[in-house]
Amino acid sequence: MANVFRTSLRVRFSEIDLYGHVHHAEYLKYLEWARMEHLKQEDLSFVDLMDKGFYVVVVNANLDFVSPAMYDEELVVSGYVNEVGTTSLSMIQEIEERETGRSVLRAEFTFVFLNRDREKVPVPKHLLEALL
């Protein structure tokens, strides 16, 4: 079983578009913020990875917008690694409205690991241990 992470956030007024729901670009921020929070919870730091010469690059992002999130709703953002390659990994993330469990969004990301010379390198073992 994959290590599933969860964190929550409340929709702020500044994230709402003219239609009264969360602007689509905000969801990428929510998803990235949740990934960074998960690394912190696992005692890992994105900055530490970079200091060690690892760069994590998003090479593919697929987002399925299921239902709109509205101002002041509390959202739960979850995720897990669903596939590991030699130099890449794939992650599934979901956003639900906390009170009702209504699905808001489902996303899949592919990340590639590079060194300082921007050459592909194996996924760091300590990162895999924390994520799996």
pLDDT in tens, 67-87: 999 999 999 999 999 999 999
pTM for the complete prediction?
Answer: 0.92
Domains along the chain? 5-131 (3.10.129.10)
Over the chain (132 residues), the average pLDDT of each successive run of 10 is 88 96 97 93 85 93 98 97 94 97 98 95 86 80
pLDDT of residue 131: 80
Give the model confidence (pLDDT) of 116-132 as tens digits: 999 999 998 888 887 87
pLDDT of residue 73: 98
Q: How far apart are CA 97 and CA 71, in angstroms?
A: 11
Q: What does the block give as tokens for 10?
A: 């409340």
Q: How far apart are CA 38 and CA 29, in angstroms?
A: 14
